[in-house]
Structure 1
């Protein structure tokens, strides 16, 4: 069944070109104001009626039934002359309706200009429809084996069931966008857009126009017909503002107003446009400290941090390292049609490293080593030097013998953690380290 959601209506209603949509039975389900302006037909004369009865000369129903695209079809009704592009609408390979894009025809120059514009619009509409409701990740993509990770994931699911704004905090590379997308796809908004924006990747003026849009002629270089902002495109869904701490102070005030009024005003525009958007923000900065320093608005902080979610660094959830590493290997094997594996020495070394770059660094190391290893088995010796030479001095200067003993004991304990703190686990740890069980106990007792 063909349904036109509010987000799509909002998009179509803003177009200068006429839009007409029929369902699979040929009944007119939607026309925009531009269609009535160009064709001079009244809404009550056509909406809800069979198109071939309301507009006998129309060939949209035939194009739909024949599953064909027709471009640049010339139509003349009385003194009204225009061009029509006709495209069937498919869902899972089945035709569920068709759409007409109508362009007014006045002279040859305008004809060429309109034809080019309609092709661009059709392409953009198709791409836009593809992305509606498409958060890239779900909670199934989040590996949580460590107890702390499991607790974080379960808490995120509870957050998703509500509709309050969310602030995700954590070090760089911990997977904040993964959780933001997971929350969206677990929420009641999952059928609507998920739009991610990195606040650090835009300049002050550009980020404002991206978020709120602008009217035609509002500034030098503004596009003809203006621009729809990301808040409008996210209507009904979720807007994810990554690196919110990078947002310029003056723009923070405008964002606060949007959250309070639940409406936006385009740059150069005077009308308020209602929006229904859930906001998820993320940062690796300490926003509370920024508030105290006067670089982040206190009132905005309380607006965006209604539901705070902290993503722990990888070093604090060691039990996730092995399954995440194996997932990366699995994905790379599929990509390159390989059969690469990680041996025990590699797994132990991965668990012992402190991962300052978190999951992003782990992925980088795994992919680098995967491509540099000639055999089908990755060993500890295959890793980059910074992984192999991990050594936390912690500002201590000790006699060399004592430092070596300290490092040795720590390495043994990490190996036991890997195999399990049981008699059987210690036997496996001793075997992996190439020492007897008695020697292992002896070194732990020093």
Structure 2
């Protein structure tokens, strides 16, 4: 073609990773870049200036593998797969004819090793899988009820807790949420994230209690190619990387293995991680909200939790009081759950005055989660349109509400167990006729029961 400088074009095409092979409309080879020569058995000098038909006759090429001749014949784009150098590789070959006045003037052939394509496809699948994981987690986050101010409470204690949340939410600092199981630590974490400047960024939740100890490090920090048996060939990003720019919620952090706590400390101090099997630190920008239902100070004393990590996490502690210490919240929470489950199960259940009184008296050892489950259960199983206090008590494992009302609260586990044991015996005495029958129901022998009755100073109503 006139005005076509093959030498200049050749310099440019030698920068291309794919093989480029160009013939004119007669099949004469006018250009072969270095990548194309590397894929075949022949050098540029052996090919340029020769006609592909002559090379076929001389045994250089198989006639069925010359895509340029197919393009010259059809005047259309043609593709095929052929063998590469030493028949070791398969090459995907695509020819595109350049027409002028209806006549093929040039055919541009591109070549690529199928192994490269397979690798790219594998990388694409890995990336899609990683993206899907992120979308799933993000989707779960979006589906949750995380509207601002959507925390049901009417107590002074919770008002103070929410006020503290409002103070720390806009400040990009680590937060430690403490409270018994079922008090709503995740709800508070949602609230803080929603009120922060990271509200539109990823919010990744990690239940430390649900991750096997041997997978902790790879799940949080990811791993490099070949880091361990069964590892993905491309490695994997961890949850810290997925949360980059956003918030990572570490629930039940007290369960975290001691061996991993030092790496969490490094994240908080240096804002960087290193993958399992890696040797380069990866900078990250993640806000950490941690939660625990245990007293971390006791874990520190027992040597189960690092003191330096405890201080790093406990920048601003937020304590959620148990439901028994904020009884003003029981009724509004119960009404909230009743509305939700009436709608979900197409019901119209109501609770009478005695029912509300029973709900208010019960100490709710399982906290808000237990209250939610009880209301859900009542909506599902109730045959009546209105439930009474007696019907609610049946769902509370025959707990004596009169005893529960006067039941003191202790922090010491042994004292709590003894007090519960005492109240269990007192409440069950009203049901059984004699000490032998009660002992059998409690799963202990009669002499053990009598010793406990004497130990706790319980006035026995039995004659035997």
TM-score normalised by the shorter chain: which range applies?
0.5 to 0.7
Mapping of 1:221-370 within 5 angstroms? Answer: 221-370=230-379
* 1:118 Cα offset (Å): 4.2
Distance across 2 between alignment mates of 1:385 and 1:230: 39
Q: 2:157 aligns with which of 148, 160, 163?
A: 148
Please say if residues 347 and 379 of structure 2, whose CA atoms lie closer than 8 Å, have aligned partners that are also in contact. Answer: no
- Corresponding position of 2:400: 389
RMSD: 3.3
Unaligned runs of 5+ in 1: 1-35, 41-73, 84-103, 405-446
Q: 2:180 aligns with which of 144, 164, 171?
A: 171
Q: Deviations over 1:12-52 (max 9, x none)?
A: xxxxxxxxxxxxxxxxxxxxxxxx99779xxxxxxxxxxxx
After superposition, the Cα gap between the structure-2 partners of 1:268 and 1:363, relative to the gap in structure 1 and judged at 3 Å, is same
Distance across 1 between alignment mates of 2:166 and 2:274: 33
Please say if residues 169 and 283 of structure 1, whose CA atoms lie closer than 8 Å, have aligned partners that are also in contact. Answer: yes
Distance across 1 between alignment mates of 2:93 and 2:175: 48
Mapping of 1:38-57 within 5 angstroms? Answer: none
Q: Deviations over 1:273-300 (max 9, x none)?
A: 0011111111111111221222211111
Distance across 2 between alignment mates of 1:75 and 1:268: 42
Distance across 2 between alignment mates of 1:141 and 1:355: 22
* 1:127 Cα offset (Å): 6.0
Q: Deviations over 1:396-428 (max 9, x none)?
A: 79xx9xx99xxxxxxxxxxxxxxxxxxxxxxxx
- Corresponding position of 1:128: 134
After superposition, the Cα gap between the structure-2 partners of 1:227 and 1:319, relative to the gap in structure 1 and judged at 3 Å, is same
* 1:123 Cα offset (Å): 6.3
Are 1:217 and 2:226 counterparts? yes
Please say if residues 252 and 297 of structure 1, whose CA atoms lie closer than 8 Å, have aligned partners that are also in contact. Answer: yes
- Corresponding position of 1:100: none
After superposition, the Cα gap between the structure-2 partners of 1:123 and 1:274, relative to the gap in structure 1 and judged at 3 Å, is closer
The TM-score normalised by the length of structure 1 is 0.63
Q: 2:113 aligns with which of 106, 114, 133?
A: 106
Distance across 1 between alignment mates of 2:398 and 2:326: 18
* 1:315 Cα offset (Å): 0.6
After superposition, the Cα gap between the structure-2 partners of 1:376 and 1:75, relative to the gap in structure 1 and judged at 3 Å, is farther
Are 1:206 and 2:212 counterparts? no
SS in 2 for 1:315: helix
After superposition, the Cα gap between the structure-2 partners of 1:39 and 1:302, relative to the gap in structure 1 and judged at 3 Å, is farther
Write out the 4+ residue segments of structure 1 that deviate beyond 2 Å after TM superposition. 36-40, 80-83, 104-107, 109-141, 385-397
Distance across 2 between alignment mates of 1:131 and 1:272: 25
Aligned residues: 309
After superposition, the Cα gap between the structure-2 partners of 1:39 and 1:314, relative to the gap in structure 1 and judged at 3 Å, is farther
Q: Deviations over 1:143-198 (max 9, x none)?
A: 12112111211211111011110000010100001101110111001111111111
Please say if residues 253 and 300 of structure 1, whose CA atoms lie closer than 8 Å, have aligned partners that are also in contact. Answer: yes
- Corresponding position of 1:25: none
SS in 2 for 1:128: helix
The TM-score normalised by the length of structure 2 is 0.60
* 1:114 Cα offset (Å): 6.0
Q: If you compute each CA radius of gyration, which structure gives the higher value, 1 or 2?
A: 2
